[in-house]
Structure 1
């Protein structure tokens, strides 16, 4: 099992715009193709501001690649990206796996 941990830095003043676009156009498609996220979070007033963090679970890298290819082929995903990407400053992605002693 692997986890896709994503952190997006949103342009200051655009967080609510990004969240609206994502809720309406991105989240339904990701849930359809990727399943339910492990978590989806918004930064508060401590630490880095204007960030969203979301985590998705996959069986392995092949499972991730297959699901993300299906998502990318969805016409609505391109529409979402066209609306969302201009609201972002930076996107960071990392793949993590559970430590041997932790069973999620």
Structure 2
């Protein structure tokens, strides 16, 4: 199973026009096969400016290629691409696989494969919900030690299930990169989680153990798409 993370950096001030374009051109009756894999579109609020991130779940690269090709073959798609690309300054994507432990990947592991259309993590109010994405770039070769420390932390209750979409490791692009995704009902819940975790002995121990493994890290905060069918994770 693969997770694709795709990021679009918009031209300044084009956010409203971008979302209007999604509403008009990317409806379920137009690109059903693509939306079957879409976990959600999100707009960055704290992090890279004027950026939209969307997350997709695929069986494998063959599934990704087939769905992208089918999407491109939709009648009139060329017109949509022309309109969308006129709003963008940059595009990038990367592929990830789930963390090697069910406690760190509650939606995707040996016994579960969550897909859009199944019950989500909500219900959430799209006006207030926050997706927190922590990106950690590890020193080469330190992945096994990283996951072992987090596995111990989870076993001791230091990695709460609250809001956890999953942790993932990079398959393409920047190597030795880890993503942690958490979905919260609002900013207050995000801050409360951060405070509770910072004070947990298991998390304090894990931070001390993993600090030498980290080359760089950052947190990005995002709000869900205003288009209702582009936020599957928020479903009840």
Same fold (TM over 0.5): yes
Give the match for residue 39 of structure 2.
38
Which contiguous aligned blocks of 4+ residues in structure 1 show a shift greater than 2 angstroms?
26-30
Give the match for residue 76 of structure 2.
76
The one-character-per-residue Cα deviations of 1:15-40 (angstroms, maximum 9, x if unpaired) are 1111111221135434x122151121
TM-score (norm 2): 0.41
TM-score (norm 1): 0.88
Preserved CA contact (<8 Å) 1:22 1:80: no
Q: How many residues align?
A: 102
What SS class does the counterpart of residue 53 from structure 2 fall into? strand
Give the match for residue 20 of structure 1.
20
**1:41, distance to aligned residue in structure 2 (A):** 0.3
Mark the runs of 5 or more structure 2 residues left unpaired by the alignment: 108-236
- Aligned partners of 2:4 and 2:15: how far apart in 1? 22
- Aligned partners of 1:96 and 1:88: how far apart in 2? 24
Give the match for residue 91 of structure 1.
91
Preserved CA contact (<8 Å) 1:25 1:76: no
Preserved CA contact (<8 Å) 1:26 1:80: no
Mark the runs of 5 or more structure 1 residues left unpaired by the alignment: none
Task: Identify, as 1 or 2, the structure richer in helix.
Answer: 1
- Aligned partners of 2:59 and 2:14: how far apart in 1? 34
- Aligned partners of 1:66 and 1:12: how far apart in 2? 33
What SS class does the counterpart of residue 43 from structure 1 fall into? strand
**1:65, distance to aligned residue in structure 2 (A):** 0.7
- Aligned partners of 2:77 and 2:98: how far apart in 1? 29
What SS class does the counterpart of residue 97 from structure 1 fall into? strand
